[in-house]
Structures are given as structure tokens and as C-alpha cells.
Structure 1
Amino acid sequence: MRMSTWIRQHVAALRALLVLTAITGIVYPLAVFAIAQLPGLRDTAEGSLIESDGTVVGSSLIGQSFTGKDGNALVQYFQSRPSAAGDGYDPTATAASNLGPESIVDTLDVDPAKVKLSLLSTVCSRSKAVGDREGIDGGRPFCTKDGVGAVLSVIGPRDADGDVSHPVQVVSVNEACPVMPFVATYKGVQVECAKPGEDYSVGRIVPIYGDATTDTPVPSDAVTASGSGLDPHISPRFADIQVTRIANARNISADQVRELVEANTDGRTLGFLGEPRVNVVELNLALDSRYPFRG
């Protein structure tokens, strides 16, 4: 009797295994594949690949870096937003930096390979680079003129609120010696540059706002990476500040460039979700097709 029950249980389990295998391993994948072949869905299912002269050059769903072998931006192309996926836009290493708003102090070291920038300094350096490239002001609040986080370690006795009213030492923690600190004094004490490898966490960490406006011409998507690191889009505002450079590099008018930007700008999804966005890959291909670079 026990053997018969054991056999029936295992036969039932085997049947369930076979049925579920057939449904989830055969029927369901075939059904999804068939639906994906319907008009309007097939292109997306195939990866939304983009071809140029019969050669696949990318996907409209995955961004690309338009830089030279030295890593510098190619002046004839619109630049994508930064990417934290591998060495940049690597689909096999999709990721974000995982740095948050409290990441404001760099890890400095005599070995450049061990230097680790905070999120603040990363944003500051990117904003300065964009400003220098596009001929606009890349300054941002809490950033130095040289593009690092404007952060001080104020060392000295603290009051009940944790403030240091009479500091004995002040260090610009993101500016490695022998650079001249971005501010000469703080509360009457001369500001020092940071010695790589030294720990200044004993002091009160004080970010300095500075005189830059919050209405910076460099938009946030120009200095921050997307969650996936693969976003192919930039904001119309980021595209707009690049128009003059592109027009000069390709020897065409700014209006001709803006026409292509408009043609490659998608509106809000369903008319109300998200924000308008510009597909950089498709835009740069359109530029090459319409106005080839003669440099």
C-alpha cells in the first residue's frame, strides 16, 4: 500500500513536471515569439537595430560614446550623457555608480590609480569639461573653478551643535597639494591643501556654496549617468548647448543643426509620461548622412 502511494505521488509529480515544462519551456516562448513578429512590434523585438549602408551600427535603445581614441569628445558629434556601464555604454556591464548626495569627499592618493572621486567632484569635473567644450559657463554651486568639490574639513573644538566656531586647522579636502586652495581663509584660519593619504574626517565637513548660480547652463543629464548606463537620449536643453559647436565643426548653420535635432526629438510618452528627449545615436547618423564631416 505504501509503495503504491509512493508510486502515485511520483507519477503525479512527473506529470506536473512535463506539463509545466511544455507550457513554460515551449508554448510560452513560442507564443511570445509569435506576438513579437506582429507589425509594429518586430523591430523592437529584434533590438531596434540601426543600419547605415547595409551595416548595423547600433541600436536606438542603447547609447554610444562619441569620443576619440584618447577619450576626448569628437567635436563633430553630439555627445551622449555620461555612462557608468563598464568603460561606457557596455551592455554587458549595465550599472549605475551607486554614489549618493552624501558622496562629497574624494579619496586622494599619491598613486593616481587609487584616486576615487566623490559624486560631487565627478559632477563638478564633468560640468567644467562641458562648459569648456561648448564655450559656456560650467560653474555649479559647491564646485571650485578647477572642477572639484568645494569642501572643507574644519578641525577644532566643537560646541553642543557640532559647529567649530574657533578652528585650529582648515583643509580643502578635494584639492591635493601643492595646489592653491579655492578659498584663502575660513573663519580667520588659512586654508590648506590636502595631503594625499591623510584622513581629515576628524574635522567637520563643510561644503562651500560659492558664487555660482543654480541656473547653470549645463543641464543635469550632461553631468550624471543614467541608472542603466545605457540611456541613448539626452534632454533638448543638453542638445541645444551643443548646436554651435556642431555647426562650426561641420561648416553649416545652427538652424540646419537645429532642424535635425527637432527631427530626432521624441515627445512625452503617451503625451504625458516623462519629458521630451533626443536620440543621440540617430541624430549623429542623420548628421553624417545630411552634412558629412570634412575635417
Structure 2
Amino acid sequence: MLKHIQPTLVSLAIFTVLFGGIYPLTTLAISQTAFPNQAQGSLIRDGNTIIGSKLIGQNFTQPQYLWGRLSATAEAPYNAGFSSGSNYGVNNPALLEAAHARLTALNTSTNVPVDLITASGSGLDPHISPAAAAIQVTRIAQTRGISESAVRLAIDSSTEHPTLGILGEARVNVLEVNLRLDGKLK
């Protein structure tokens, strides 16, 4: 019986060291070396203070800021510990109520892009479409007492284009725009 147990225990020890230690540490070293910003969560800092991440949205509701998508996460908006969509159907009263409240807050007579009145699948989306950003320019400029062209410049500087020119869509990082407007990001 010992001759059957010994190879099993040796195999367990080898695979534990190899796949529980060496492989994860090698992967960590490669990612930290090749992609240090992404490996650390794509954090945005103001000096030594972490302001947020390029990958997780934040809840901006003040009129001087660009507003992102609605968040369907539990307990608080953009709570990464409770990432999920609302799973509401298009006729669900709760979805209709949230969309109507956002439309009222936007106070615009133009067509509103759907990404401003619905939540993303994760509830954490940090991006909105360029069209969703564009309809907010006047409100932000008036509230801040700056020109609309200054707001558009902040939006243009924070717009990411499709990867390789074909993958995905153009998108605007809401946190980056707001930091540029506050003068905390160049």
C-alpha cells in the first residue's frame, strides 16, 4: 500500500509547488514587468492619492460633472463587490422609473443615447458614448462658467477609439473627463 501512496504524495507536492507557487509567481512577474499599470488595476492617482480606476465607474451626480451610466449594483452605485446588471426587462416599472428620473435630471429636449438612461451589464462601466458626452456639454459649461469648447477638449482628450481601429466602439472615460475639468489630469 505504501508503494501506491508515496508516488501520489510526491506528485501532489510537485504539482502544488509548480502550479500553486512557481506558475502564479512567474505570471505575476511577467504581468508586473510587461503591463505594470494594468497589473495594478489601471489606477488614476493625484500624487500619492488613488482617485479611482480607469476600469470602474464612479457616481457623479453634480451638474458640473460629466455623468456616466446608471449603476445597478447593490447597496451603492458602482460597488465593485456587488457587480451585476439589473436584469430588468424593457417594460419593468423599476427600469422605466430609473430611466424617467435620469431623463428628468438631464433636462434636455434632444434625443438621449440609451447608455445615459440604462445600466451596463456589470453596473460598473466607466465609459459612455461620445454622443452621451456631447449632450452634457452645455450643462457642464454653464455650471462651471467655462466655454463649451473647453468641455469638448476634455471629452476629446478622454475618448478612446476602437482597438486596432475595428474592435469595439469609441468611448469616453467619465472619470478622466471630470479630472481634466477639475485640473487634476493633463
Q: 1:284 pairs with 175, 178, 183, which one? A: 178
Alignment of 1:105-120 (within 5 A): 106=93, 117=94, 119-120=95-96
Q: What does residue 15 of structure 2 align with? A: 20
Q: What does residue 99 of structure 2 align with? A: 123
CA deviation map 1:160-191 (0-9, x unaligned): xxxxxxxxxxxxxxxxxxxxxxxxxxxxxxxx
CA deviation map 1:53-101 (0-9, x unaligned): 43111111111001xxxxxx20110011000112110011111111234
Runs of 4+ that moved beyond 2 A: 119-130
Whether 1:90 aligns to 2:70 is: no
Q: 1:252 to 1:14 in 2, by over 3 A?
A: same
Point out the structure with the larger strand share: 1
Unmatched runs of 5 consecutive residues or more in structure 1: 1-5, 67-72, 107-116, 138-215
Q: Distance in 1 between matches of 2:81 and 2:134?
A: 31
Q: 1:62 to 1:99 in 2, by over 3 A?
A: same
Alignment of 1:144-163 (within 5 A): none
Alignment of 1:253-272 (within 5 A): 253-272=147-166
Alignment of 1:213-252 (within 5 A): 217-252=111-146
CA drift at 1:9:
1.7
CA drift at 1:105:
5.1
CA drift at 1:290:
7.0
Q: Distance in 2 between matches of 1:249 and 1:234?
A: 20
Q: 2:46–2:184: 8 Å Cα contact kept in structure 1?
A: no
Q: What does residue 88 of structure 2 align with? A: 99
Identity %: 45
Q: What does residue 43 of structure 2 align with? A: 49
Q: Distance in 2 between matches of 1:290 and 1:94?
A: 28
Q: 1:30 pairs with 5, 25, 34, which one? A: 25
Aligned amino acid, residue 82 of structure 2: A
- Return the TM-score normalized by structure 2: 0.92
Point out the structure with the larger helix share: 2
Q: 1:250 to 1:129 in 2, by over 3 A?
A: closer
Q: What does residue 68 of structure 2 align with? A: 80
SS for the counterpart of 2:183 is helix
**Superposed CA RMSD:** 1.7
Count of residues paired in the alignment: 184
Aligned amino acid, residue 62 of structure 2: L
Q: Distance in 2 between matches of 1:122 and 1:225?
A: 10
CA deviation map 1:116-145 (0-9, x unaligned): x2x344333433332x2xxx22xxxxxxxx
